[in-house]
Structure 1
Amino acid sequence: MARQIEEQIAGRFPVGQRLRVLDVGLGQGTQALRLARAGHEVTGLESDPQMMAAARAALSEEPAGIQDRVRLMDGDGRETGAHFLPGSFDIVLCHGVLMYVAEPDPMLAGLARVLAPGGLLSLVVRNADALAMRPGLSGDWATALAAFDSPEYTNRIGRPVRADRLAALTSTLAGIGAPLATWYGVRVFTDLAADGEAPPSPDGLAGLLAAEERAGRTDPYRSVAALLHLCGVRG
């Protein structure tokens, strides 16, 4: 996803412009720190105390100049209207968050509201149109059959969550004034990899990344990816 974000930035903003970035549900801060290292001003919003502690620890190891470009805030992505003025950001990231939100449309409208005209809204969601793939390939037929009829599922850490459909999100993004500009598939070939599995050799890793990158841009492969990366642009 990092390469996809870089591609979108390069294609939509002048070279060298210092962008204002909001990372909603920043987790351990990996993407936020990468953008701060690239020279951008990043605000990270996180509601989980453990994730926030990890992000603060990671930030503390960065040089002072990078630390000065990052602001970490305790908060929920559904509360952006209480924290920020309209048009406050050039980029809003919301990666791996919507699956925990029962009614995502109001939250998405709030994220679009804090985007400046021409700003980029980047979403990473679980793909409801391919929800049967993981259990089906694992031989869990009951779970696979249930996935055809419901966007709700249990994730790898045992939490009940939900997935989103591309068509529905495309309609939502158009309705909130940040219509879909492009989308990618994420984890087309690697979704069954076990957590903590050792990475392949350098040559194997390079091949894996190249194959995932190509599949994530190519139909019909991207349609069956475990995750979707959607990029909307504020009108």
Structure 2
Amino acid sequence: MLDIGPGQGTQALRLARAGHLVTGLEADPAMLAALRSAVAAEPADVRARFVALQGDGRETGRHFGPACFDVVLCHGVLMYVPDPEPMLAALSRVLAPGGLLSLVVRNGDALAMRPGLLGDWGGALQAFGSAGYVNRLGLATRADRLAPLTQTLTGICAPLHAWYGVRVFTDAAPDHAVAPGDPATLAALLDAEEAAGRTDPYRGVAALLHVCGLRT
């Protein structure tokens, strides 16, 4: 598995613990240092399954040969890339036939939802028809819409296999919010999000989209 922009390794390390061979390709030096520190704290068998490299996902050809990964993850990265197509083409190149390309992107068809739910009516009105937004870190970023993204995936020989909504009900929660302490309440919250993320029309207004393509 290849994880593009793994950050501190939250997802990538879980995969390595589950027995998968994982390569993390991180462009930011500070995040790469945090990732390597997190890997170093893992048991020896997990460390043996994990490689952390510095690099840009748009330049996978500098690091890897073609068709050498069964799964490529690119979660929460495309919103920082002005043009997603070079990145996606590079990721498709390193996917083996039948391999899974897993993307998590900001949902451009629902940019008005968060400001609207927070009572920011001016922000909601500006979001209609827009492809850009300012994220919670204060950075100007961009969103993807499902229909054009589906066309792009077809063009890079990794056509859409499935898609899901992420953070349908909880996106307006403040950054300092904590998960419910009661296990039953937390389980119900997660079940509700899971159901909404798989069900129309709810998944279409999710803050994020989880989009999966299969390499032909």
TM-score (normalizing by structure 2): 0.98
Q: Deviations over 1:123-171 (max 9, x none)?
A: 0000000000000111111111111121101000100000000001000
| Residue in structure 2 matched with residue 203 of structure 1 by the alignment | 184
Q: Which residue of 2 aligns with 1:54?
A: 34
The structure 1 residue matched to 2:14, chosen from 4, 26, 34, is 34
1:222 aligns to 2:203 (yes or no): yes
Aligned-partner SS, 2:198: coil
Q: Partners in 1 of 2:125 and 2:208 — Cα distance?
A: 19
Aligned residue in 2 for 1:10: none
Whether 1:126 and 2:103 are equivalent positions in the alignment is no
Aligned residue for 1:163?
143
Residues 167-214 of structure 1, C-alpha deviation per residue, up to 9 Å, x if partnerless?
010000001000000000000000011112121122211110000000
For 1:84-123, what aligned pairs fall within 5 Å after superposition? 84-123=64-103
CA distance in 2, matches of 1:149, 1:72: 39
Secondary structure of 1:73's match?
strand
How far residue 58 of structure 1 moved from its aligned partner, in angstroms, is 1.3
Is residue 65 of structure 1 aligned with residue 45 of structure 2? yes
Report the identity percentage.
69
Aligned to 2:129: 149
Deviation for aligned residue 1:37: 1.0
Aligned residues: 215
2:115 is the counterpart of 1:135: yes
Scaled by the length of structure 1, the TM-score of the pair is: 0.90
> Counterpart amino acid of 1:116?
A
- Inter-partner Cα distance in structure 2 for 1:148 and 1:154: 14
Q: Please report how far the alpha carbon of residue 103 of structure 1 lies from its aligned counterpart in structure 2 after TM superposition.
A: 0.6
> Which residue is equivalent to 2:55?
75
Q: Which residue of structure 2 lines up, in the alignment, with residue 232 of structure 1?
A: 213
Q: Which residue pairs with 1:13 in the alignment?
A: none
Between the aligned partners of 2:133 and 2:125, the Cα distance in structure 1 is 12
Specify the code of the residue in structure 2 equivalent to 1:220.
P
Residue type at the aligned position of 2:146? L
Matching residue of 1:212: 193
Post-superposition offset of 1:56: 1.3
- 2:179 equivalent to 1:193: no
Deviations 1:36-91 (A, max 9, x none): 11111100000112221221121111111110110000111111111111101000
- Unaligned 5+ residue runs, structure 2? none
In the TM superposition, what whole-angstrom CA distance separates every residue of 1:19-39 from its partner, at most 9, and x where no partner exists? Answer: xx0000001101111111111
Give the letter aligned to residue 231 of structure 1. C
| 2: CA distance, partners of 1:135 / 1:197 | 17
Q: What is the Cα-based RMSD across aligned positions, in Å?
A: 0.8
- Counterpart AA for 2:187: A
Q: Which runs of 5+ in 1 are unaligned?
A: 1-20
